[in-house]
Structure 1
Amino acid sequence: MTGRAMTRVRWWARCWKRKMADPLPSQFARDMARRRFLLGMAGGIGSLALAGCGSRADAQAAGDSNCRASPWETDGPFPADGRGGRDRRINVLSSRDVVRRDIRPCFAGMEGEAEGVLLELELQLVEARFDCSMPLAGHAIYLWQNDAAGDYSLYNRRDVNYLRGLQVSDSEGMVRFTSILPGCYGGRSPHCHFEVFASEEAALSGEESLLTSQFAFPEEACRAVYESDARYGDSLANLERWPIARDFVFRDGDAEVRAMQVLALSDNGANGYFGTGRIALSL
């Protein structure tokens, strides 16, 4: 096992204690031998070593003083990328159907669609070493999140694979996803996960990510939705117990880092929200 892989195991054991479940549907299984080989080759890249649990030490280089690189965060629960979670055989990145903007429906032969308040999300990928002024085109961002009830597809909702998708950054470093505002489940503030890859082919062929991290959602907007939409169940009560300040992923960052990790949300006037965020890599 590579040092990077061991770090992931230790992180998971300390920070995300969840009961293991039975294997997931076989249609997403793939031959992991090639992926393990590729990950082993990538394991020696020391500058991308995962930071220890509870630490805000960036896995990326420091970057310009006026533009801090986005920090590494745990990829749990279950990224479904063939590397971690309950079943490493499950890898949605083995299917080109995952390359899509609208991540609400299921794909690759599975049925169902995530219900919830519409979210049009726009993320910009930039190079941190140039004061975040240089967009990074041609990179792939894999995004996944829980649904309104707080469930993750292929995790505690084994019958669906929605709310997972991959997009490639354009000339301005932009990627766009159509999703829903996620619910708030016990133990976490509302959030989404993402991985950045060097290219679409890198993501789909099993190469190691350049960054794995998370975004938080503004509490005010989430609270307004949770109060008025019954589809979000216990989300309001969970948010009151686990605001961003108590979330184990975001609480140990200073004010500047935490601000980087909170998406900006605005009402789009169509019973939904428009969200923006910036991801800064130091390559």
Structure 2
Amino acid sequence: MTDHHEGQRVSRRRLLAGISSLSLTGLLAACSTSEPQQTAAASTTAAATEDVFSGAGTCVLTPETTQGPYYFDADKVRADIREERPGTTLRLALKLQDSETCAALPNAVVEIWHCDAAGLYSGAEARSSGSGGPPAGAPPAGGPPPGGTGAGDGMADLTPTDDQRYLRGAQVTNAEGVVGFTTIWPGWYRGRTVHIHVMVHVSNERVLTSQLMFDEALNSAVFENEPYAAHTGRDTFNEGDSIFEESMLLKVTRQADGYLGALVLSADSDRDGR
């Protein structure tokens, strides 16, 4: 799922009309080993795309959350964000649409970032380990403050304290509003359930900041294996998390080498509150 955008600086945000960042053939080929089974003939059709996202979200405004303490523009437009970080393979298929019209939003930048199997964030390894500042999961780790949203909650972007950039990246949505990433199943850190951060930029504006979540039965199954099993003492699960909402749950299917997670994101692209 790589393309000619690979390696571009995200901060430029030059969204050129007609540029497609994702090969649907490549994305849906990755789904061909999933359950339920996908047919090869359907892999390049819009109908097949809809099948991937069936049951993965509706045209309802995606909940906003705080961006958290570990966001910064990593300047990495790429589909594979692993950088050889160990963990269970997770492929993400995200479809972006307008929350009012339900129409696909092409040429938008979708960024994701998350911790590794040990709960560490690149660019903030010391801080996220608890040895270089507030411990991971410390306030402000809850939802947006009253009257605020994740796109404008007053939380400053992080100034990186190391040169690592693993598990961070961005893609540009194609004509169907779809992006795809290859990463690993996130680990956990104190005070938060398992999650992936996502931020959407339209016309150089941050129009959505939210999070992607996982069913706890799947978290448990993944964490039984290394390297996750070495990280013990998990203290926060979905039901006790301050941000978790059912609508953030990814639709996850098993693959031969890992998992595929899909979700439809509905963004208020014109920022009018609808």
Task: Specify whether residues 230 and 162 from structure 1 end up closer, same or farther in structure 2 by C-alpha distance, changes over 3 A only.
Answer: closer
Q: Quick one: distance in 1 between partners of 2:85 and 2:266?
A: 29
Tell me which residue corresponds to 1:223: 220
Selected match of 2:69 from 77, 82, 87: 77
Tell me which residue corresponds to 1:198: 202
Selected match of 1:264 from 251, 260, 268: 251
Taking the TM superposition and a 5 Å limit, the aligned residue runs for 1:55-204 are 67-81=59-73, 92=74, 95=75, 98-105=76-83, 113-130=84-101, 132=102, 134-156=103-125, 158-198=162-202, 202=204
Tell me which residue corresponds to 1:242: 236
Selected match of 1:281 from 264, 267, 272: 267
Q: Deviations over 1:8-64 (max 9, x none)?
A: xxxxxxxxxxxxxxxxxxxxxxxxxxxxxxxxxxxxxxxxxxxxxxxxxxxxxxxxx
Task: Specify whether residues 231 and 245 from structure 1 end up closer, same or farther in structure 2 by C-alpha distance, changes over 3 A only.
Answer: closer
3-state SS in 2 of match to 1:184: coil
Q: Quick one: distance in 1 between partners of 2:259 and 2:118?
A: 18
Q: Deviations over 1:137-157 (max 9, x none)?
A: 111101100001110001125
Q: What's the offset of the Cα at 1:282?
A: 2.5
Q: Quick one: distance in 2 between partners of 1:71 and 1:135?
A: 18
Task: Specify whether residues 213 and 175 from structure 1 end up closer, same or farther in structure 2 by C-alpha distance, changes over 3 A only.
Answer: same
Larger helix proportion of the pair: 1
Q: Quick one: distance in 2 between partners of 1:224 and 1:232?
A: 10
8 Å Cα contact 2:64-2:209 kept in structure 1: yes
Q: CA RMSD in A?
A: 1.9
Q: What's the offset of the Cα at 1:159?
A: 4.8
3-state SS in 1 of match to 2:120: coil
Q: Quick one: distance in 1 between partners of 2:253 and 2:116?
A: 20
3-state SS in 1 of match to 2:224: helix
3-state SS in 1 of match to 2:211: strand
Identity level (%): 36
Tell me which residue corresponds to 1:48: none
8 Å Cα contact 2:222-2:228 kept in structure 1: no
| Structure 2 letter corresponding to 1:103 | I
3-state SS in 2 of match to 1:154: coil
Q: Quick one: distance in 2 between partners of 1:260 and 1:245?
A: 13
Q: Deviations over 1:224-269 (max 9, x none)?
A: 011122444225x41xx3111111112xxxxxxx222111111111
3-state SS in 2 of match to 1:260: helix
- TM-score, normalization by structure 1: 0.59
Tell me which residue corresponds to 2:22: none
Tell me which residue corresponds to 2:208: 211
Gaps of 5+ in 1: 1-65, 82-91, 106-112, 203-207, 251-257
8 Å Cα contact 1:148-1:232 kept in structure 2: no
Gaps of 5+ in 2: 1-57, 127-161, 270-274
Q: What's the offset of the Cα at 1:161?
A: 1.2
3-state SS in 2 of match to 1:125: strand
Q: Quick one: distance in 2 between partners of 1:164 and 1:249?
A: 21
8 Å Cα contact 1:69-1:282 kept in structure 2: yes
3-state SS in 2 of match to 1:126: strand
